[in-house]
């Protein structure tokens, strides 16, 4: 099984440490600060009012646009620009080389369909993980994790309340496009190859990167399904040797959910994507078989188009 090589010449443990620190500082600290500054023109009140309200944004509908802009810049700066500068300055690597390969249209379509099919499979894990009950000795952690999950759900609903087409477009950019580029750049393009250099095993690298990718979101009750999704993206990258593949799949996953939520809000469809309930078993089985067939096609045709890949 062959795939993308590491981007660093230094010790992989040191590279992993630098990448994780960069992602954390960039997305949690620097990105939000930049986003806060850029969101100020979109709030009509005082700076003091904005600073106070931003701690509980879901209580103030007028903050939806500023907070979306803030979130967008947090991703743009923290997971795209800063990692790009890191590659250029610290690794002497042109970050554009990671996306220099063209994405074969047929494989991109298969990756798209496989991602949609996997939603049916993953719904089982979403329901299980959402309803997970901690043992008594972890009760305090479970309470904290549930509070974090409820807050994340509240913010998601806040972000995905679309009143206009413009709201929908902005939501797609912030919720789907920017995370697809930034998170795949960091977790698949940078981190996963370093874990491969460390372990010498692509499966190990894929699953460790997927776990960190999921843990990075700080939502325990979505840890397993998000980790499985990260593993899917990881295999798409290793098999194709093309970072566009997980980026496209990631965008499809997020944008499909956003569009389905929008259509549900408009009363056009009756499927609630925000529900944690698993799909009916016949649907799960059918989608799983379709997913397996699509991934097999992707794997075999990636080998044909990229002989040096898995």
Contact at 8 Å (CB) between 171 and 254?
Answer: no
Please indicate, yes or no, if residue 213 is contained in any of the structural domains.
Answer: yes
Please indicate, yes or no, if residue 296 is contained in any of the structural domains.
Answer: yes
Q: What is the pLDDT of residues 188-231, one digit of tens each?
A: 999 999 999 999 999 999 999 999 999 999 889 999 999 999 99
Positions in the chain short of pLDDT 50: 2-3
DSSP of 148-160: HHHHHHHHHHHHT
Q: What b/e readout covers 103-134, taking b as 16+ CB neighbours within 10 angstroms?
A: bbeebbebbbbbbbbbbbbbbebbbebbeeee
Report which DSSP code applies to 10: S
Please indicate, yes or no, if residue 7 is contained in any of the structural domains.
Answer: no
CA separation for the pair 1, 35 (Å, rounded): 41
CA separation for the pair 298, 168 (Å, rounded): 31
Please indicate, yes or no, if residue 3 is contained in any of the structural domains.
Answer: no
Please indicate, yes or no, if residue 154 is contained in any of the structural domains.
Answer: yes
**Interaxial angle between packed helices 12-24 and 192-199, expressed in degrees from 0 to 180 and rounded to the nearest 10:** 160
CA separation for the pair 16, 32 (Å, rounded): 23
Sign of CA dihedral 124, 152, 171, 180: negative
Please indicate, yes or no, if residue 310 is contained in any of the structural domains.
Answer: no
Please indicate, yes or no, if residue 301 is contained in any of the structural domains.
Answer: yes
Q: How many CB atoms lie within 10 A of CB 218?
A: 14
At residue 97, the pLDDT reads 86
At residue 2, the pLDDT reads 46
Q: What is the pLDDT of residues 125-163, one digit of tens each?
A: 999 999 998 888 888 888 888 888 888 888 888 888 888
Please indicate, yes or no, if residue 135 is contained in any of the structural domains.
Answer: yes
Contact at 8 Å (CB) between 256 and 119?
Answer: yes
At residue 305, the pLDDT reads 63
At residue 89, the pLDDT reads 86
Q: How many CA atoms lie within 13 A of 144 on its CB side?
A: 5
Which ranges in the chain belong to alpha helices (H)?
A: 12-24, 31-39, 47-53, 64-75, 82-89, 105-130, 139-159, 165-171, 178-183, 192-199, 202-215, 223-240, 244-265, 281-305
How many structural domains does the chain have? Answer: 1
Contact at 8 Å (CB) between 202 and 238?
Answer: yes
CA separation for the pair 113, 41 (Å, rounded): 40
Q: What b/e readout covers 11-23, taking b as 16+ CB neighbours within 10 angstroms?
A: ebeebbebbbebb
CA separation for the pair 51, 45 (Å, rounded): 10
CA separation for the pair 27, 20 (Å, rounded): 11
At residue 136, the pLDDT reads 87
At residue 83, the pLDDT reads 93
Contact at 8 Å (CB) between 276 and 126?
Answer: yes
CA separation for the pair 291, 124 (Å, rounded): 14
Range of the domain at 88: 12-305
């Amino acid at each position: 099984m062959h795939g993308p090589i590491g981007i660093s010449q230094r010790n992989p443990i040191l590279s992993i440490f630098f990448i994780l620190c960069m992602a954390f500082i960039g997305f949690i600290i620097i990105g939000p600060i930049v986003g806060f500054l850029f969101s100020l023109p979109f709030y009509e009140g005082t700076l003091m009012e904005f600073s106070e309200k931003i701690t509980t944004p879901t209580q103030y509908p007028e903050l939806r646009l500023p907070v979306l802009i803030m979130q967008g810049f947090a991703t743009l700066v923290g997971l795209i620009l800063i990692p790009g500068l890191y590659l250029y300055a610290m690794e002497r690597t042109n970050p554009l080389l990671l996306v220099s390969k063209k994405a074969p249209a047929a494989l991109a379509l298969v990756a798209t369909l496989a991602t949609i099919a996997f939603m049916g499979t993953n719904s089982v894990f979403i329901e299980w993980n959402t309803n997970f009950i901690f043992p008594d000795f972890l009760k305090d952690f479970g309470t904290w994790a549930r509070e974090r999950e409820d807050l994340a759900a509240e913010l998601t609903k806040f972000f995905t309340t679309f009143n206009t087409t413009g709201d929908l477009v902005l939501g797609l950019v912030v919720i789907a496009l920017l995370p697809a580029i930034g998170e795949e750049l960091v977790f698949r393009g940078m981190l996963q190859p370093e874990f491969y250099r460390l372990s010498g095993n692509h499966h190990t690298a894929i699953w460790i990167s997927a776990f960190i990718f999921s843990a990075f979101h700080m939502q325990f009750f979505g840890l397993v399904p998000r980790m499985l999704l990260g593993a899917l993206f990881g295999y798409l990258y290793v098999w194709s040797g093309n970072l566009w593949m997980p980026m496209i799949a990631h965008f499809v996953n997020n944008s499909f959910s956003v569009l389905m939520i929008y259509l549900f809000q408009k009363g056009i469809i009756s499927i609630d994507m925000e529900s944690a309930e698993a799909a009916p078993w016949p649907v799960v089985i059918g989608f799983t078989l379709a997913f397996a067939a699509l991934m097999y096609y992707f794997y075999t045709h990636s080998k044909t188009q990229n002989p040096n890949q898995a």
